[in-house]
Structure 1
């Protein structure tokens, strides 16, 4: 019974045919830093914000189209300004859930991505207030969570998005870094 359940779940998640034609998108987003931990941002509706910003461009390629989940790779170039001033590059594997019951009124997608982030300088805002959390490093884990909204037309190329941009040491896995940074942002995506 457990094996059958696992096969059904696996089919729902990755079933479907590979994409024949390239499915690219270009996204641009702006985000503002929150010193709050990621879990606190996701739980609360009013995170503390500070005057550190980023502008990002993301090139995304969908390499597999499942029934409900699309698998994508994304490359980002990010410019930080405000309380810190440096560049960042990210390479991310993304799973995008495509099927919501209200899609006929507002096409909605949820994405979760995991990858690597390289800051061209050690970001000064990433150390936490607790000295035991340690200093940051240039190479850290990158995580994204995104809600995307588009008109319900099947040929719609434009969409808007809300994104959580997160860099961290994953509890010390990367260079012993315990802290990280969170940016909450808005952006647009064009599919071609």
Structure 2
């Protein structure tokens, strides 16, 4: 189980990852995520994750996400700081059309309730095998995948911090 808080960036996903210095604006989300690991090896864990998200600030709506996640769990420095990297791909349903998702291009017609969802996450925990708590940095991304979903060209990016508890 994880909970995280995130702040919106109007920057494109590629610019956030490449430059690591995004512009931020006063739109936020709180999320609760439940994960189930259905296959795990020494290095990779495959998981299903469901999320319930509440947006506030410049937009006010709920969002639900279902995601297939691959989590890389083997790093050379794990004996000092247990580190994991996750990448997830799935579907996102906004209970109202989010007003921040349209880009500023003149031909951009807006967004849609059902879009693609992508997550990237770095997780850090004490090196103890009994440690059930961890901290995480997560990129929460909704988009139309270049028009694949309802012709939507835009999307939204939120950069967040959270905690995870493993049962």
User: Do they superpose with TM above 0.5?
Assistant: yes
SS at match of 1:42: helix
What residue is the counterpart of 2:61 in the other structure?
Answer: 86
CA apart distance, 1:76: 0.1
SS at match of 1:102: coil
Structure 2: unaligned runs, 5 residues or longer: none
CA apart distance, 1:66: 1.9
What residue is the counterpart of 1:136 in the other structure?
Answer: 111
What residue is the counterpart of 1:74 in the other structure?
Answer: 49
With normalisation by structure 1, the TM-score equals 0.86
- Structure with greater proportional strand content: 2
Q: Distance in 1 between matches of 2:20 and 2:88?
A: 22
What residue is the counterpart of 1:13 in the other structure?
Answer: none
CA apart distance, 1:46: 1.6
1:1-192 residue pairs with structure 2 within 5 A?
Answer: 26-192=1-167
Structure 1: unaligned runs, 5 residues or longer: 1-25
Q: Distance in 2 between matches of 1:133 and 1:157?
A: 45
Q: Is the 8 A contact 1:134 1:179 kept in 2?
A: no
SS at match of 2:128: coil
CA apart distance, 1:169: 0.3
CA apart distance, 1:134: 2.7
Q: Distance in 1 between matches of 2:3 and 2:107?
A: 35
Q: Is the 8 A contact 1:116 1:140 kept in 2?
A: yes
SS at match of 2:161: strand
SS at match of 2:107: helix
CA apart distance, 1:45: 2.4
Q: Distance in 2 between matches of 1:53 and 1:134?
A: 23
Q: Distance in 2 between matches of 1:45 and 1:37?
A: 11
CA apart distance, 1:132: 2.2
Q: Distance in 2 between matches of 1:142 and 1:47?
A: 20
Runs of 4+ in structure 1 over 6 Å off: none
Q: CA RMSD in A?
A: 0.6
With normalisation by structure 2, the TM-score equals 0.99
